[in-house]
Chain A
Amino acid sequence: MLQFAKWKTTLVALVVAAGIVFVLPNFFSRASLENWPGWIPNQQINLGLDLQGGSHLLLEVDVDTVISDRLESLESEVRRTLRSKRINYTGIGIEELAVRVRLTNPEQRDEAVEALRDLSQPITTNAFLNVGAQDLEVSVDESGIARLLLTDEAIAERRRAAVEQSIEIVRRRIDETGTREPSIQRQGEDRILVQLPGVDDPDRIKRLLGQTARLTFQMVDVDARPGGRVPPGSVSLPSDARASSQQTEYIVRREILISGENLINASTTFDQQSGGPAVSFRFDASGGRRFGQATTDNVGRPFAIVLDGKVISAPVIRQPILGGSGIITGGFTVQEANDLALLLRAGALPAPLNILEERSVGPGLGADSVAAGELASVIAFVAVMVFMVLAYGLFGMIANVALIVNMILIGGGLSLLQATLTLPGIAGVVLTIGMAVDANVLIFERIREEVRTGKTPVAAIDAGYSRALTTIIDANVTTLIAAILLFQFGSGPVKGFAVTLAFGIASSMFTAITLTRLIVITWMRRRRPAALPI
């Protein structure tokens, strides 16, 4: 009756010891932990963004833009190809996922189809599975309308590549800001989850991520007057809000002399003439050559520096720029110049990013929440322990030992698994303090009942534990089911709540069934009481 298998005793001791070892680092400063020998666990509980402060951003890659970009560039390629082959055409345009063009001369159809097929590009991935897969299907119908349709594989591949590249660019941009331990993960098809602990200016990050940062150099169309008719081959672009110029609109040649892809470096500098902040840049070898050529050909004419479709500045080329480097001036503040340099270094996003969700908590509120949570835990802890002693006396004290061990196990478990503790998670811990005694209450009430039926102390305890066991398991499994669903469907902080709740249930079951029983049995064997003080 009063047996407790050796191996069980060892197991309980080991679990409790492990709990203590893993929870211990939380009571030391991070700095002192680094000096601990490597074999001692030194992981602390991860605080969620709502407790340590920081930003949670859910971004969506606007993948449709990538497809429409590809179609637009395809349209101009088709135009160029047909023109260079002197094939007659009319009515070129984009319809859904295809470029459509009417070939007017039936005799040129075959030649045209062949030329258009050459525009197709191989799909790079899945090269092993799908050798020679092309991104276009070219067809021509009876009436001479040719269609260049993007294949499903090509679309899927472009979307995939766009999301992957976006993640890479987002990572580079965030790394450039010097944020500590950012977490950047893909979520679902086209979403990116960015978590930035301890960021104090989330707005800056959002601004940085909100720009595609596509930089191009284009000639200003000096023949056209802003506000007037825009000649074919040119486009009217608005002036960037930061630009110092009074001009609000520029007519710019569509042809792109050179783009930001060829940049290898960019940094903040100061304009020697105005003294204001500026961004200096340097092209790679081929970019430098093209830039040199373009500036040589266009001395005396203005060219536009265009960022995301807005003209930052349009300086006149005074002399050929052959060194492959230059500066961009605008009415920048130092911060704006820094940010632009950062964006240029990190590269352009393949598609715009939309912010779907943002949750930013300042470090002050996080610290307040931790303090409030700690205070609430301590109060709840003391109140419940006092109550248990009042209700069950000695047995209440035993339950309190179990409660303390419970907290150690929850803390140790969270540290070991590096689960994240959130504010609702703290609520889960406090709730667990209240509910954890339930298993012991069930057992003690049962023992009381058995004592009332006239059982001896030993028999009462034995019956109490064995009869309460099913109830404890049934009752806790239901709460566990709720916790699992919470984890599955909850987001962020709510997940943290589910984790601590589940930990609390598991450890309260463990301590009630094994630890308090071990203590009770040990006590019984030593004292052999005639009556139970319960």
Chain B
Amino acid sequence: MAWKLRLVPEKTAIPFMRLRNLAFAFSGALAVLSIVLLFSLGLNFGIDFRGGTLIQVKTPGTADIATMRDAVGGLGLGDLSLQTFGSDDEVLIRVERQVGDAAEQLTAVETIKDALASSIGGDLDYRRVEFVGPQVSSELVIDGTLALGLALIAMLIYIWFRFEWQFSVGAVLALVHDVVLTFGFFAITGLEFNLSIVAAILTIIGYSMNDTVVVYDRVRENLRKFKKMELRQLIDVSVNDTLSRTTLTSFTTLLALIALAVVGGPVIAGFVVAMIWGVVIGTYSSIFVAAPVLLYLGVRRESFDKESAEGDGEASPA
């Protein structure tokens, strides 16, 4: 047999459940830290959620941020920030929403363009202009929250339907863990939190769930196969059985994401970073959160005793 690359040995017997208390303490501490950071540092909301105007401008040479800041800083447009974006000749200008109607927003953009034209010359390429009004931004907040909430509920119901309530509690706990830690990650890094990050979190939910389901599926199968095995050992066996697949899939997904992060451009960089983070913690949480929860809650083995066909999970909760 030809040599094959393996991320983990063919047969592993890592006592994951022995580490469960440690893992729970670790996860719990990170979650608490995330929540504290979320409330103390807060998120760096983009204009999608805060309203305002964003202008991305490309300068002929290296952008002279200081001069540009001087040019637009004194215009009386309120809270205003400049930063380079992706490369050193591109600048992102964020302006808070102007008091008044749509015309005022338009005027603000033109005022900035005029000021930049007179201070560093006219050879500027306005690559992107976005404006989000207060109505739309509050709708986006509501839609985003609703989507996250519904995703969690939908997963809870699906797992309950396919497995048992203990599994759906474990799966959703793992998801909440992933979401909270992602919020914490954005609070501590100060990366911009915008619509595409909400999309990333939903994708993380899908991905992490995918991982968890694979482990749970094996637990269910083993519950039928090894009727006498202690639950703790059974979960360990199941996690070890699927470990090779879990690491392989995470690895290929990370390969693709890293390619995007390196060459995908700054516009989706935030999304990609969130996804990378999500794949890592999603993989971790399906092993160290979702699986041990089953042990804490206990599983009624009778539900799986019936010699039912593969995949014919019992829908009835306890």
Taking Cβ atoms with an 8 Å cutoff, the residues of A that contact B are: 50, 58, 60, 202-203, 206-207, 210, 353-362, 364-365, 368-369, 372-373, 375-377, 379-380, 383-384, 387-388, 390-393, 423-424, 426-427, 430-431, 433-435, 437-438, 441-442, 445, 448-449, 452, 466-467, 469-471, 473-483, 485-486, 488-491, 493-494, 497-498, 501, 531, 533-534
A364-B154 CB under 8 A given contacts A435-B207, A482-B209, A501-B203? no
A48 to chain B, nearest CB (A): 12
Is B265 in contact with A372, judged by CB distance below 8 angstroms? yes
Is B209 in contact with A358, judged by CB distance below 8 angstroms? no
A471-B213 CB under 8 A given contacts A391-B248, A490-B199? yes
Task: Name the B residues within 8 Å of A426 (CB-CB).
Answer: 264, 268
B17 to chain A, nearest CB (A): 21
A-B pairs with beta carbons under 8 Å apart, 23 shown: A354-B101, A361-B127, A362-B128, A369-B267, A376-B259, A379-B259, A384-B255, A424-B271, A427-B272, A431-B257, A434-B254, A435-B207, A438-B210, A448-B10, A448-B244, A467-B310, A475-B217, A478-B155, A478-B206, A481-B155, A489-B144, A494-B195, A494-B198
Indicate whether B315 reaches chain A with its CB closer than 8 angstroms. Answer: no
Indicate whether B136 reaches chain A with its CB closer than 8 angstroms. Answer: yes
Is A479 in contact with B196, judged by CB distance below 8 angstroms? no
Q: Report the bound CA distance from A485 to B267 in whole Å.
A: 23
B46 to chain A, nearest CB (A): 12
Residue of A nearest to B11 (CB): A452
Taking Cβ atoms with an 8 Å cutoff, the residues of B that contact A are: 1-2, 4-6, 10-11, 56, 58, 101-103, 105-106, 109-110, 125-133, 135-136, 140, 143-144, 146-147, 150-151, 154-155, 158, 162, 195-196, 198-199, 202-203, 205-207, 209-211, 213-214, 217-218, 221, 241-242, 244-245, 248-249, 251-257, 259-260, 262-265, 267-268, 271-272, 275, 310-311
Residue of B nearest to A56 (CB): B130
Residue of A nearest to B159 (CB): A478
Task: Name the B residues within 8 Å of A485 (CB-CB).
Answer: 147, 150-151, 154, 202
Q: Report the bound CA distance from A384 to B174 in whole Å.
A: 27
A430-B214 CB under 8 A given contacts A387-B5, A477-B158, A533-B1? no
Task: Name the A residues within 8 Å of B310 (CB-CB).
Answer: 466-467, 469-470
Which 7 A-B pairs have CB atoms at the shortest separation, nearest pair first? A482-B206, A434-B256, A470-B311, A434-B253, A489-B147, A479-B206, A372-B265
- Which listed residue (B129, B162, B213, B251) contacts A387, Cβ 8 A? B251
A496 to chain B, nearest CB (A): 10
- Which listed residue (A365, A391, A481) contacts B4, Cβ 8 A? A391
Task: Name the B residues within 8 Å of A361 (CB-CB).
Answer: 127-128
Task: Name the A residues within 8 Å of B103 (CB-CB).
Answer: 210
Is B129 in contact with A202, judged by CB distance below 8 angstroms? yes
Task: Name the B residues within 8 Å of A467 (CB-CB).
Answer: 221, 310
Q: Report the bound CA distance from A12 to B39 in whole Å.
A: 53
Q: Report the bound CA distance from A448 to B210 in whole Å.
A: 21
Q: Report the bound CA distance from A448 to B221 in whole Å.
A: 17
- Which listed residue (A210, A376, A531) contacts B1, Cβ 8 A? A531
A468 to chain B, nearest CB (A): 9
Is B6 in contact with A391, judged by CB distance below 8 angstroms? yes
Is B263 in contact with A379, judged by CB distance below 8 angstroms? yes
B45 to chain A, nearest CB (A): 16
Q: Report the bound CA distance from A491 to B48 in whole Å.
A: 11
- Which listed residue (A362, A474, A491) contacts B195, Cβ 8 A? A491
Task: Name the A residues within 8 Å of B125 (CB-CB).
Answer: 362, 364
Is A474 in contact with B213, judged by CB distance below 8 angstroms? yes
Is B311 in contact with A486, judged by CB distance below 8 angstroms? no
B36 to chain A, nearest CB (A): 28
Residue of B10, B196, B214, B255 with most chain A CB atoms under a 10 A cut-off: B255
Q: Report the bound CA distance from A473 to B16 in whole Å.
A: 26
Is A210 in contact with B106, judged by CB distance below 8 angstroms? yes
Q: Report the bound CA distance from A379 to B254 in whole Å.
A: 12
A201 to chain B, nearest CB (A): 10
Task: Name the A residues within 8 Å of B101 (CB-CB).
Answer: 354
A445-B1 CB under 8 A given contacts A387-B251, A427-B271? no
Q: Report the bound CA distance from A471 to B211 in whole Å.
A: 10
Task: Name the A residues within 8 Å of B106 (CB-CB).
Answer: 203, 206-207, 210, 355
Q: Report the bound CA distance from A434 to B208 in whole Å.
A: 14
Q: Report the bound CA distance from A480 to B202 in whole Å.
A: 11
Q: Report the bound CA distance from A377 to B257 in whole Å.
A: 10
